[in-house]
Amino acid sequence: MHVVNLSTEVRSHLARQLAYSQSTGTGFLCAYLLSTPDKTVSDVATLMVFPGASDTLVMAYLFGDQSSTTLPSRALTPEQIGELLNQQANSAPDRANYPTELQVHNDVVSSLRLAIKLKEGAFLLPTGGKADLHLMLERTQPLGDRSTFRYVLNGASKTMAALLPVNEGVALQLLVAVAADIVGAPGGDRS
């Protein structure tokens, strides 16, 4: 169990992001440091907000877990989002008792879920210090719905670009399996 608070700066930034998002109808992605009362950083929370016509989807990744909720757009406040982050952080089990391999696997899966949602970008995957593994996602056309993926290990491309499956569950299974094959689970770098 963690005791985590969002700082005044984080709450202020969240309020500005939400106000801009609501005025433009665009979503946002941001990351916030979570710190304990003694100012020790315990994790980084990744927050994604996707506004819709009447509801807003709020997704948070922290301590290796994902949570999401849908809230009415008109009534959404930064305090509600901050409270969701606090609740998730403070209800998360203490990961210090988890085996390292499980922590790394959960972190990789969370990172890959985020990458699949974003559909493009370069993502450094946590491998427990085994390797410098990046997932590269590129859209097949500007603002297109499909993406290609490839993995880069220690600066060298390890896979050819391939089309990412449309189904997010299938895409996640594929990306996890390829990453495990490249890095090796738990045996280390097999490059």
Rounded-to-integer distance, Cα 37 and Cα 158, Å: 43
Within the chain, what is the greatest distance between any pair of CA atoms?
A: 51
When pLDDT is cut at 50, 70 and 90, the band that residue 112 belongs to is confident
98: pLDDT confidence band, cut at 50, 70 and 90?
A: very low
User: How far is it, in rounded angstroms, from Cα 77 to Cα 168?
Assistant: 29
pLDDT of residue 165: 94
Reported as a single tens digit per residue, the pLDDT across 6-63 is 777 778 888 888 888 888 877 777 777 777 777 776 677 788 888 877 888 888 887 7
Total-model pTM: 0.51
Least confident of 17-21, 40-44, 92-96, 187-191: 187-191
* pLDDT tens for each residue of 143-181: 778 999 999 998 899 999 999 999 988 999 999 999 989
29 by Cβ neighbours in 10 Å (0-12 / 13-18 / 19+) ranks as: middle
Q: Kindly report, residue by residue over 116-150, the tens digit of the pLDDT.
A: 888 888 887 777 666 788 899 998 887 778 999 99
- Domain locations in the chain? 8-96, 99-183
Phi, psi of 141 (to 5 degrees): -145, 155
